Chain A
């Protein structure tokens, strides 16, 4: 690990130790927060006992579906919109205001249409993430050197092959921003939807534990969500850094 990495790890360990200390000495009431060591123990017990497995599997499945759909649709939409500058100019105000819309007000409507199934949850995650990917794709394509388009034509590539073999890899560093946002937004969309009105899933389990004053389960599940999201983002970040190093030679 690099020196910066060690410093980063030391800061994290220090913060966790401080939290543990503050809870242990009573500066933070025990009823409000568990010490991190107990959160970890509770999470391990929960995972070993398997009581949260169904909720975990459901949530991760919904997130994976929302993520995959938003990445594919966002990229496709971005390529299509980039292809037509007038359409792009017409849609730009919608993109600018998209994240000002409180999506969760539509959740009851989705339930009315699709019932209490997984589909409304996946759709919420998808709706939350897709435009981030679309905007990142458009920005990435803006930065693809024009000469690569000429190279594609020299190799007599059609539009699809040009998009997949030339534009996609050329825009990849920029697409990573979209991908990382998609991961975060998919988790937010799915877990928040489960939190509001779902019969199962991690969001539902956290809300249920909260209503039941079951801090141990609540914090254990929250810790699980944080570990998964941070691990995924760190993996993507590492991948992105390797790519950038290759791209820029540093």
Chain B
């Protein structure tokens, strides 16, 4: 199960993958996972095998598209964000921002109420 400091990342894995894919452009799985790890400063060190089922699911749902790249030494599947993926990314980001704002508001409120 993907986790960060013991927190379940499953609900945010799609958001992270879509965001990373948007930043990298068309990319294969290993490079995407490396980008995710590097851009999070090593915080999101996911069990790498879990990323492929997530990418397959996103492709099934139309958020990403993929094609074989045979121009390299090994056959590689290259993933691209689709227009529907852009929409999904914007929606998930909005939900995540609202979630973070809600958590922060509760924490700040508690900090005031409990000195």
- Whether A associates with B in a native complex is no
Which A residues contact B (CB, under 8 angstroms)?
none
Which B residues contact A (CB, under 8 angstroms)?
none
